[in-house]
């Protein structure tokens, strides 16, 4: 099969996904016109809150573009430089190993040195890493992998910690955070589609070389540093220069059953998403099948955008649901979608449909989990706890990359089955978190009633 005959899916699918997303957002805006300004709709945000969102989202989306431009031709650049599959695997493993063993402490340190400073350092790491990837020298590329691994540990950990602390400092309502989170998920899908088109234009149309997108990413990283320096204020969790205290505080937070459950939920979701990103292309091109990967990737990102629009309806209006009430079903739906590649189904149309369903679930889960984290994790230890949440993710990816990608000891279908088991356990953990919250609320209400009765008698 030639490239001209590569499978790219039905022509109407992309328009349908984007149209459904636009229809949901339009429906929400129509509801907002009938609502009072005090009600919880995104479209009735105060000017001060909108300005705060712009300052944060501008930096967040630029960081997203930086990461996207590095990943579009990530492995293709190494192959173009003449490196074998084993050497490429070492470079990729280095990213997750550095994130696990050094990045965790760097993320915890963000609570000490300040989230603004940590974000600036993240931008500088991205800048150095992107410039280093212009070199063909293996050790310079290893330096690029080290920078990327450390940057992954800080993004979005430091940014989310800054967002929550600054949101609280400015006195905005807690539930307004969900508005920012679903816009972040929606923008990630838009940015991913735009990055793919822009990178292809640079490489194919203007013939600037496979490494050219990473050079543009370096310029965007520099812009991120400039915007943070000139638009963000500093906030610090624990006292400066007390890394040991920050680490102890983060570990002590895990003694809270709710935070521990949330950590397991987050880890199962992140591992499934990271494994999917690593395996979706090899799954589709198995048995020599030829695909138009750029078009299929656009389907997946449009599905993520549709999921974020659904999340906006669920979290902000008109439903205003708690994430614990619907996320267990979303996790089950995601696990059922992954059952198709796990079963080693060969019909490519069915596979792509399952992948789109999975990304709709991802689009719903991303802002919903972020809102849960904003509720349960305290601001003074937020970056540290989020860094600890990433430990099982990096451990899982190291296992998959080494055992599956390099040593070939496990099949891709086995990895999908493990992800399914993880998502199902995450669904059960969500149910347990909801039940624990209800019991805590009942106990708190009973305590308040007893206190009121005691005061009445006195």
CA distance 115 to 154: 9
Single pTM value for the model: 0.91
Place of tokens 């099969």: 1
The domain ranges of the chain are 47-444
In this predicted structure, what is the pLDDT of residue 26? Answer: 85
- Cβ atoms of 372 and 324 within 8 Å: the answer is yes
In this predicted structure, what is the pLDDT of residue 454? Answer: 39
In this predicted structure, what is the pLDDT of residue 385? Answer: 94
Tens digit of pLDDT for each residue in 145-182? Answer: 999 999 999 998 999 999 999 999 999 998 899 989 99
The DSSP secondary-structure symbol of 134 reads: T
Does domain 47-444 match CATH 2.60.40.790? no
Q: How far is CA 241 from CA 95, 111, 246, 288, in A?
A: 27, 10, 9, 55
In this predicted structure, what is the pLDDT of residue 437? Answer: 81
Place of tokens 């969900």: 178
Place of tokens 């479209």: 43
In this predicted structure, what is the pLDDT of residue 188? Answer: 95
Residue ranges for the chain with pLDDT beneath 70: 1-5, 31-44, 238-242, 441-458
Paired residues of 291 in beta bridges: 7
In this predicted structure, what is the pLDDT of residue 457? Answer: 44
**Token pair listed for 343:** 């079963």
In this predicted structure, what is the pLDDT of residue 167? Answer: 96
Using alpha carbons, select from 208, 247, 179 the residue that is nearest to residue 41: 179
Tens digit of pLDDT for each residue in 10-27? Answer: 889 999 999 999 999 888
In this predicted structure, what is the pLDDT of residue 453? Answer: 47
The DSSP secondary-structure symbol of 378 reads: -
Distance of CA 439 to the CA centre of its chain: 30
In this predicted structure, what is the pLDDT of residue 442? Answer: 63
Q: How far is CA 32 from CA 22, 184, 237, 309, 316, in A?
A: 15, 20, 36, 15, 11
């Amino acid at each position: 099969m030639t490239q001209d005959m590569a499978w790219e899916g039905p022509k109407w699918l992309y328009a349908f996904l984007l149209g459904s997303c636009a229809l949901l957002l339009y429906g929400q805006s129509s509801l907002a016109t009938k609502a009072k300004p005090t009600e919880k709709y995104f479209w009735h945000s105060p000017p001060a809150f909108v300005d705060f969102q712009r300052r944060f989202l501008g930096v967040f989306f630029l960081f997203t573009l930086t990461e996207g431009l590095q990943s579009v031709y990530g492995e293709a650049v190494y192959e173009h430089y003449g490196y074998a599959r084993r050497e490429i695997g070492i470079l990729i493993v280095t990213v997750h190993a550095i994130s696990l063993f050094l990045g965790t402490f760097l993320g915890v340190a963000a609570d000490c040195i300040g989230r603004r400073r940590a974000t600036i350092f993240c931008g500088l790491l991205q800048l150095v890493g992107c410039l280093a990837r212009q070199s063909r020298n293996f050790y310079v590329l290893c330096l690029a992998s080290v920078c990327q691994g450390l940057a992954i540990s800080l993004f979005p950990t430091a940014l989310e910690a800054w967002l929550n602390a600054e949101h609280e400092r400015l006195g905005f309502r807690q539930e307004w955070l969900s508005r920012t989170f679903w816009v972040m998920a929606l923008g990630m899908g838009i940015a991913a589609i735009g990055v793919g088109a822009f990178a292809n234009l640079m490489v194919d149309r203007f013939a600037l070389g496979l490494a050219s997108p990473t050079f543009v990413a370096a310029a965007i990283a520099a812009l991120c540093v400039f915007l943070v320096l000139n638009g963000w204020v500093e906030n610090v969790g624990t006292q400066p220069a007390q890394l040991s205290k920050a680490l102890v505080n983060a570990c002590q937070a895990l003694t809270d059953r709710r935070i521990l459950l949330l950590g397991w939920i987050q880890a199962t979701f992140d591992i499934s998403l990271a494994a999917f990103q690593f395996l979706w292309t090899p799954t589709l091109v198995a048995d020599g099948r030829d695909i138009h990967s750029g078009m299929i990737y656009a389907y997946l990102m449009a599905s993520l955008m549709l999921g974020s629009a659904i999340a906006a309806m669920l979290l902000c209006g008109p439903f205003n649901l708690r994430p614990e009430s619907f996320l267990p079903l979303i996790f089950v739906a995601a696990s059922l979608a992954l059952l198709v590649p796990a079963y080693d189904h060969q019909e490519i149309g069915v596979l792509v449909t399952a992948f789109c369903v999975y990304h709709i679930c991802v689009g719903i889960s991303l802002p919903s989990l972020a809102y849960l984290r904003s509720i349960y994790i305290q601001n003074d230890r937020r970056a540290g706890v989020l860094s600890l949440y990433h430990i099982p993710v990096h451990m899982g990816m190291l296992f998959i990359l080494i055992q599956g990608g390099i040593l070939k000891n496990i099949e891709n279908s086995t990895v999908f089955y493990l992800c399914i088991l993880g998502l199902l356990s995450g669904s059960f953990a969500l149910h347990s978190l909801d039940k624990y919250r209800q019991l805590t609320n009942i106990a708190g209400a009973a305590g308040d009633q007893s206190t009121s009765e005691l005061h009445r008698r006195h």
